[in-house]
């Protein structure tokens, strides 16, 4: 079947980070042997930043890291990285704290924004990279995005002064929010916190047990999170909380409820990912007036991560039917969708929604499109081919409307 939808807005992505990465070598599509050979052939005299490293396919430690040229390898999930022995002096010089803590997983999970800033600094970002990354998303069906963790003040200024500023809704870490002046604070949608790790890094805060190694990682103690939310609740801005496992989701809800009774107010409350949210947590989120920001893409974790998640978790992942039919969340109102850039574009999300691993993950095309919402600052139409036989959705054409040029500001 062929159908047409509007050019969409991605409610969760990492635009400046991926834009910075655009000049990096991406090994995510290579097999382990091919990736290994490529890594060995990289320049010996300078640091190369490599993205898309799948540590579970190509584990690298000890001797392997000692034999490689100067490399910073960034995990596919963005959570986790490795530095080759030869790369260490380069990383130490640029970002000493990140270098010193590179083998400390707890520190790394607790300092995701600092690590994103380091990635961004080492890879470099400019208007050209930003514009071409945003341009490259249009043929995939996406015209604008929430940028969930603007990594540095430099990146924030790039985004704000970009020709595509209208196509970005910006979120920053609390440290960056406190550092910048009033006009910059007013220009961001809010503050983003990471509460737990990721499934790919075996660090999402689930009760478990994991199959094989895995540890629930928390960035904050309950008390520290509450104090931070009370502080942010006085800033007259929005809040977004990354919480994947049910333990992190519970921590977020309890802290928000208590912060609220202590007078904290937010322009918007967003809960990000929520892959293992249950019925009772959904009810509490509804009561708080929170917006659930979720990624249909990650429904396929139920297929991809059967090596680490028990069946009960595979079945509970992304329970969209429960959220919509039982808890009363409405796509586009208090349930919004995005990609996290894994991968970019609407095709993968549409495939995961229409042909999910589990029935509770099913979304109609109308629900998916409403949950993404129309692109901002740009418009157009996207033609999709839905193949019921192969269970795949593909983008077969995108037509961008002519944009009315912005009046030059005086």
Q: Which residues bind Zn ion (CB under 5 A)?
A: 148, 340
Distance (Å) of CA 350 to CA 79, 158, 345? 25, 31, 9
One DSSP character per residue, 253-285 reads HHHHHHHHHTT---S-EEEEE-TT--HHHHHHH
Helices and strands counted in the chain (H then E)? 19, 15
90 vs 171, beta carbon nearer Zn ion: 171
Query: Checking DSSP bridges between strand 238-243 and strand 190-194, what pairing results, if any?
Result: parallel
48 vs 145, beta carbon nearer Zn ion: 145
148 vs 271, beta carbon nearer Zn ion: 148
Query: Checking DSSP bridges between strand 380-387 and strand 392-400, what pairing results, if any?
Result: antiparallel
Q: Which residue is nearest to Zn ion (CB)?
A: 340
User: Helix, strand or coil for residue 174?
Assistant: helix
19 vs 148, beta carbon nearer Zn ion: 148
> Please, what is the minimum distance in Å from the beta carbon of residue 113 to Zn ion?
11
Distance CA 9, CA 57 (A): 32
17 vs 398, beta carbon nearer Zn ion: 17
Distance CA 257, CA 251 (A): 10
298 vs 355, beta carbon nearer Zn ion: 298
Distance CA 3, CA 81 (A): 41
Distance CA 243, CA 273 (A): 6
90 vs 218, beta carbon nearer Zn ion: 218
> Please, what is the minimum distance in Å from the beta carbon of residue 272 to Zn ion?
7
Distance CA 398, CA 143 (A): 10
> Please, what is the minimum distance in Å from the beta carbon of residue 273 to Zn ion?
8
246 vs 340, beta carbon nearer Zn ion: 340
CB 133 within 8 A of CB 22: yes
The dihedrals phi and psi of 44, each to the nearest 5 degrees, come to -95, -15
> Please, what is the minimum distance in Å from the beta carbon of residue 380 to Zn ion?
25
> Please, what is the minimum distance in Å from the beta carbon of residue 275 to Zn ion?
12
235 vs 298, beta carbon nearer Zn ion: 298
The dihedrals phi and psi of 10, each to the nearest 5 degrees, come to -90, 115
Distance (Å) of CA 95 to CA 51, 89, 107, 402? 18, 10, 14, 43
> Please, what is the minimum distance in Å from the beta carbon of residue 139 to Zn ion?
22
Cα of first residue to Cα of last residue in the chain, in angstroms, is: 49
Distance CA 32, CA 22 (A): 21
CB 69 within 8 A of CB 40: yes
> Please, what is the minimum distance in Å from the beta carbon of residue 291 to Zn ion?
15
> Please, what is the minimum distance in Å from the beta carbon of residue 339 to Zn ion?
9
> Please, what is the minimum distance in Å from the beta carbon of residue 234 to Zn ion?
26
């Amino acid at each position: 079947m062929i159908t047409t939808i509007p050019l969409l807005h991605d409610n969760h992505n990492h635009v400046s980070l991926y834009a910075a990465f655009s000049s990096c070598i991406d090994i995510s599509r290579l097999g382990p042997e091919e990736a290994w050979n490529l890594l060995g052939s990289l320049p010996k005299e300078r640091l190369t930043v490599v993205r898309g490293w799948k540590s579970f396919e190509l584990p690298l430690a000890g001797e392997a890291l000692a034999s490689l040229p100067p490399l910073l390898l960034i995990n596919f999930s963005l959570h986790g990285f490795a530095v080759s022995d030869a790369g260490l002096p380069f990383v130490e010089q640029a970002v000493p704290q990140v270098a010193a803590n590179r083998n400390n997983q707890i520190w790394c999970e607790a300092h995701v924004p600092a690590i994103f800033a380091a990635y961004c600094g080492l890879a470099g970002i400019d208007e050209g990279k930003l514009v071409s990354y945003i341009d490259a998303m249009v043929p995939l069906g996406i015209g604008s995005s929430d940028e969930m963790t603007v990594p540095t003040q430099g990146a924030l200024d790039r985004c704000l002064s970009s020709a595509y500023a209208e196509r970005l809704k910006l979120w920053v870490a609390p440290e960056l929010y406190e550092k910048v002046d009033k006009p910059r604070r007013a220009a961001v949608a809010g503050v983003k916190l990471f509460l737990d790790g990721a499934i790919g890094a075996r660090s999402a805060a689930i009760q478990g047990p994991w199959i094989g190694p895995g540890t629930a990682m928390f960035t904050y103690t309950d008390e520290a999170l509450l104090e931070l939310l009370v502080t942010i609740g006085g800033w007259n801005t929005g809040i977004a909380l990354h919480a994947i496992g049910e333990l992190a989701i519970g921590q977020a809800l309890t802290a928000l409820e208590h912060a609220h009774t202590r007078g904290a107010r937010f322009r918007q409350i967003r809960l990000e990912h929520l892959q293992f949210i249950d019925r009772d947590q959904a009810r509490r989120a509804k009561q708080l007036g929170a917006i659930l920001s979720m990624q249909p893409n990650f429904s396929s974790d139920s297929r991809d991560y059967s090596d680490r998640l028990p069946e009960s978790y595979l079945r509970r992942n992304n329970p969209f039917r429960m959220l919509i039919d039982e808890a009363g969340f409405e796509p586009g109102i208090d349930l919004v969708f995005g990609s996290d850039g894994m991968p970019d574009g609407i095709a993968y999300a549409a495939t995961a929604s229409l042909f999910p691993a589990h029935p509770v993950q099913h979304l109609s095309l109308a629900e998916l499109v409403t949950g993404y919402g129309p692109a901002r600052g740009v418009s157009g139409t996207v033609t999709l081919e839905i193949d019921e036989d192969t269970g795949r959705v593909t983008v077969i054409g995108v037509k961008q409307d002519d944009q009315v040029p912005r009046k030059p500001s005086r």
